[in-house]
Structure 1
Amino acid sequence: MAWFLGEAGAPGVEPMPVGKRIFDFSFALLLLIPLSVVMCAVALILLLLQGRPIFYTAHRMRSPSESFTQLKFRTMLQDEGDFGATGAHKHWRITPVGHFLRKTRIDELPQLFNILRGDMSFVGPRPPLREYVERFPSVYTQVLKSRPGVTGLATLIYHRHEDRIMSRCKSAEATEIAYYRRCLPAKLKIDLIYQRHRDVRLDLWILWNTLKIVFVRKDERPRRRGRN
């Protein structure tokens, strides 16, 4: 049962609610039936156009003390010295097919396997780098009480503003400074709000608005009614 719930066993980490885990596992399996064809097609296209590796793997934190390997389709040219947030200085590395995968969020599809493993949920804070957790340990102790998600409240509300900030950063140093001083503190505040108010209705609202952005391209800041 522990593997199904994805229990970390670390002090202060809450086990995933059974209902949420059942939803995540069942919905991920359901999506994999039709999307496996899409994923195989994307993998073949990437293999032909970009070569190996097909997947981008990144070490992220699923709890304040436990890491996991996050999966995405590779959308950028490889760089051995790559690190940190993506600013304008990295845009030249995004491949033509990578631009399409990012715009449509298809690059995120391999994270369905992370959900099945219990490392991630559909909704939650975005999985952070270890260095962020080590820099803000007390905050992440609260933020990572629930599993990181493919989408989340901070992603939904802040992503457009973050993109604008990052697009003005022309070097790795400027990107890191902007992310640490402006983007990360703002997103952590929103993640803490999510932790205080998380429930089934909020998760469904986040999922619904994420789907609207992806499929309807209604990319505006969503407003939730009935909550101050």
Structure 2
Amino acid sequence: MNKKDIFLKRTFDLLLSIIGLICFGWLILLASLISFFDTGMNGFYTQQRVGQFGRVFKVYKIRSMKNIEGVVTTVSTDNDPRITKVGRFWRKTKIDELPQLYNVLIGDMSFVGPRPDVKGFADKLEGDDRVILTIKPGITGPASIYYRNEEEILSNQNNPELYNKTIIWPKKVDINKSYIKNYSFFKDIEYIVKTVL
């Protein structure tokens, strides 16, 4: 990705995030209020994620889960008991991801790129795989689209955490490396359209 690509990508991110927050700010606030009553907790959920150059930042989402004592895994499946009925709707429609427009606005994320992961994944990359850390993580991207039914896939595994670590994560790394190697601004537009549709 050259300087022109970086400038164009950031300009696009900035403009679209501003437009998105203006258009969907009301929905974000309404969803957070509903989530507050649904879960009995803050309607906004924040989590530490690994971003560009390995820098840790807070990602913002609409809370879709309630706390259940003894369930602490960061890998969620389609039948995760922590997901509320309302939360399932947020996740299915991707409304829970809308607060990340703020992450894009302040420069922590981009609209398109590798999804930001929790510690233990992206920060453990080695060799050529570390190229993934040279760009900002995205709200969507080729790996997200490829694994759009990830929670459903994981729910069919005997050991979801192991399957995620040994099968899904390595595949995502390969997809994201290819995305960076063959970067195109127009491909970014295509990924956004595919995500919306």
Q: Does 1:168 align with 2:156?
A: yes
CA deviation after TM superposition for structure 1 residue 140, in Å: 4.3
CA deviation after TM superposition for structure 1 residue 62, in Å: 0.9
CA RMSD of aligned residues (A): 2.0
- The aligned residue for residue 19 of structure 1 is 8
- The aligned residue for residue 72 of structure 2 is 82
Give the letter aligned to residue 190 of structure 1: I
Cα distance in 2 for partners of 1:92, 1:146 equals 34
TM-score, with normalisation over the residues of structure 2? 0.90
Q: Secondary structure at the match of 1:185?
A: helix
Select the residue among 108, 119, 126 that pairs with 2:97: 108
Q: Does 1:128 align with 2:128?
A: no
CA deviation after TM superposition for structure 1 residue 22, in Å: 1.1
Q: Secondary structure at the match of 1:71?
A: strand
Q: Contact 1:75/1:98 (CA < 8 Å) preserved in 2? A: yes
Structural mapping, 1:1-228, within 5 Å: 17-79=6-68, 82-87=72-77, 91-160=80-149, 162-169=150-157, 174-212=159-197
CA radius of gyration, larger in: 1
Cα distance in 2 for partners of 1:57, 1:74 equals 9
Q: Deviations over 1:29-87 (max 9, x none)?
A: 11111211111211221222322221121111112431100110110112475233113
Q: Contact 1:16/1:147 (CA < 8 Å) preserved in 2? A: no
The count of aligned residue pairs is 194
Uncovered stretches (5+) of structure 1, i.e. residues with no partner? 1-13, 213-228
Q: Secondary structure at the match of 2:151?
A: helix
Q: Contact 1:165/1:178 (CA < 8 Å) preserved in 2? A: no
Q: Contact 1:55/1:71 (CA < 8 Å) preserved in 2? A: yes
Cα distance in 2 for partners of 1:105, 1:65 equals 26
Q: Secondary structure at the match of 2:66?
A: coil
CA deviation after TM superposition for structure 1 residue 145, in Å: 1.6
Change over 3 Å in CA distance of 1:95–1:194 after alignment to 2: same
Cα distance in 1 for partners of 2:76, 2:110 equals 23
* Larger deviation, residues 136-145 vs 53-62: 136-145
Cα distance in 1 for partners of 2:168, 2:33 equals 35
Uncovered stretches (5+) of structure 2, i.e. residues with no partner? none
Q: Deviations over 1:142-179 (max 9, x none)?
A: 1122110000011112323x334301235xxx121111
Q: Contact 1:85/1:175 (CA < 8 Å) preserved in 2? A: yes
Q: Secondary structure at the match of 1:115?
A: helix
Q: Contact 1:75/1:101 (CA < 8 Å) preserved in 2? A: yes
Give the letter aligned to residue 94 of structure 1: I
Percent identity between the aligned chains? 32
Give the letter aligned to residue 155 of structure 1: S
Q: Secondary structure at the match of 1:159?
A: coil
